[in-house]
Amino acid sequence: MKKKLKLVMVGNGMAGVRTLEELLKIAPDLYDITVFGAEPHPNYNRIMLSPVLAGEQTIDEIVLNSWAWYSDNRITLHAGKKVVEVDRIKRIVRAEDGTEAAYDRLLMCTGSTPFMLPVPGNNLKGVIAYRDIADTDCMIETARTHKNAVVIGGGLLGLEAANGLMLRGMNVTVVHVMPWLMERQLDDVAGKLLQKSLEDRGLTFLMGAQTQDMVGGEDGRVKSIRFKDGTEVAADLVVMAVGIRPNVELAEKMRLHCNRGIVVTDTLQTVTDARIYSVGECAAHRGIAYGLVAPLFEQAKVAANHLAQFGIDRYLGSLTSTKLKVTGIDLFSAGEFMGGEGTEEIVMSDPFGGVYRKLVLKDDKLVGACLYGDTGDGSWYFKLLREGLSVHEIRDRLMFGEPDAGLQKEG
């Protein structure tokens, strides 16, 4: 029988492993597969770290692929081994500890690294990012021993972290430089509704506050955070959730063309080296490095198809939608929810039921949606958004959910 090709995957994250799963589905025997992962864990659902932090789930529950899965699929897994070098001429991958693996196809899934504010004290003990199990454990630990936490960044991740820490008994202050929360996913109205309901749950917010520096105690741990306006807030733990940067350290070393991520084509092959694929938060497709899970899975599907040498299907980018995983708070946004040139807005608010909805239309097509309080119809809107069909006929009922489906739901 014909000798198998060698596929090496750098990074043991969700996007990459999903690619393998897709690949094994359509071409189970094409490759000998080797996986390098920096974390000493099998592939777990990073998205679900928040529920873990909130104490609603355990690490085990969020593991997507158990150790057994790798062996069952005859995948060589080098967990906890960080790849430091790739020889594109000899087509060899080398890890810190010297472990090597040769490849015919290389899949770069190095993901992203959290961005740390370049302010004095950002290296103090107790100043962390929120990215992986280690960070999560650290927070859970600190919550046991300390009282005050400050989360910098009122985005998706920051709010989930803040919520988790609060549920673990800390009094949490969220510092956000923008006028309203999750400004990339919500409009001002929804953002303020969100802030209100989080405040009701016990979170404190400092909006528009600009961090100057972090003050450490003699034990070397952070003890407070200072702002440009001179105010100061006590903090035994500072979580930075001010965004992520594609992790291209290795790729650059390999002289792969990077620009806001490893630049890939519609087939997810790097523009520099056709043997090398890249998916996930590290990949820059048409100038966008996606930070959400849905697009990554779409990339995985396409990448797998090409790795399987079928050459069908291209990745054309994704419309993204957001959901916040804070129990009891439903919000959804997608598309150009902020409106803009030539768009029309339909707005509905129901303070009585704590619901807000904004739909943005352009040329009778739904181009954006921002839902707060009840995201029941989110998927329907998202469908309309993707299909881009005219909603002229149903415009007046659009706000009230899928025709008739809506009515029963409410009744």
Chain contacts with another protein (rule: CB under 8 A): 344-353, 355, 395-397, 399-400, 407, 410-411
DSSP string spanning 73-131?
A: TTEEEEET--EEEEETTTTEEEETT--EEE-SEEEE---EEEPPP--TTTTSBTEEE--
Least distance CB 185 / another protein (angstroms): 22
Specify the residue, 80 or 339, whose C-beta has the smaller distance to another protein: 339
Cα gap 132→58, rounded to integer Å: 14
* Residue 156 vs 194, nearer CB to another protein: 194
What whole-number distance in Å separates Cα of residue 224 and Cα of residue 239?
12
Query: Which C-beta is closer to another protein: that of 243 or that of 339?
Result: 339
DSSP-based three-state secondary structure for 48: helix
Shortest distance (Å) from residue 395 CB to another protein: 7
How many other CB atoms are there within 10 angstroms of residue 98's CB atom?
8
Residues 6+ apart with CB under 8 A from 197: 329, 354
- Which residue, 316 or 407, has its beta carbon nearer to another protein? 407
Nearer to another protein, 148 or 195 (CB): 195
Minimum distance of another protein from residue 396's CB (angstroms): 5
CA atoms of 116 and 127, how far apart (whole Å): 9
Determine the 3-state secondary structure of 232 from DSSP.
Answer: strand
Measured from the CB atom, is 102 or 347 closer to another protein?
A: 347
Cβ 373 to another protein, closest distance in Å? 10
Contact 358, 346 (CB under 8 A): yes
Q: What residues have CB less than 8 Å from 374, skipping those under 6 apart?
A: 330, 353, 355, 357
Minimum distance of another protein from residue 379's CB (angstroms): 19
Nearer to another protein, 317 or 376 (CB): 376
Rounded to the nearest whole angstrom, what is the least distance from the CB of residue 364 to another protein in the complex? 10
Q: How far is the CB of 42 from another protein (least distance, A)?
A: 45
CA distance 379 to 411: 20
Minimum distance of another protein from residue 402's CB (angstroms)? 13
3-state secondary structure of 255: coil
* Residue 151 phi, psi dihedral angles, 5° rounding: -110, 125
352: CB partners within 8 A, 6+ apart:
none
At closest approach, how far in Å is the CB of 386 from another protein?
A: 23
Closest to another protein by CB, 137 vs 350, is 350
Question: CB-wise, 83 or 190, nearer to another protein?
Answer: 190
- Give the residue with the Cβ less far from another protein, 290 or 337: 337
Q: What number of other Cβ atoms are within 10 A of residue 317's Cβ? A: 14
186, 324 contact by CB (below 8 A): no
Taking the complex as a whole, the smallest distance from the CB of residue 349 to another protein amounts, in Å, to 5
The alpha carbon of 121 is separated from its chain's Cα centroid by a whole number of angstroms, namely 26
Shortest reach from residue 334's CB to another protein, in Å? 19
**Nearby residues of 337 by Cβ (< 8 Å), 6 or more positions away:** 185, 186, 187, 358, 360, 368, 369, 370
Of 48 and 399, the one with the shorter C-beta distance to another protein is: 399
The CA-atom distances, in angstroms, between 262 and each of 77, 115, 258, 279 are: 24, 17, 4, 9
Burial of 141 (0-12, 13-18, 19+ CB in 10 A): exposed
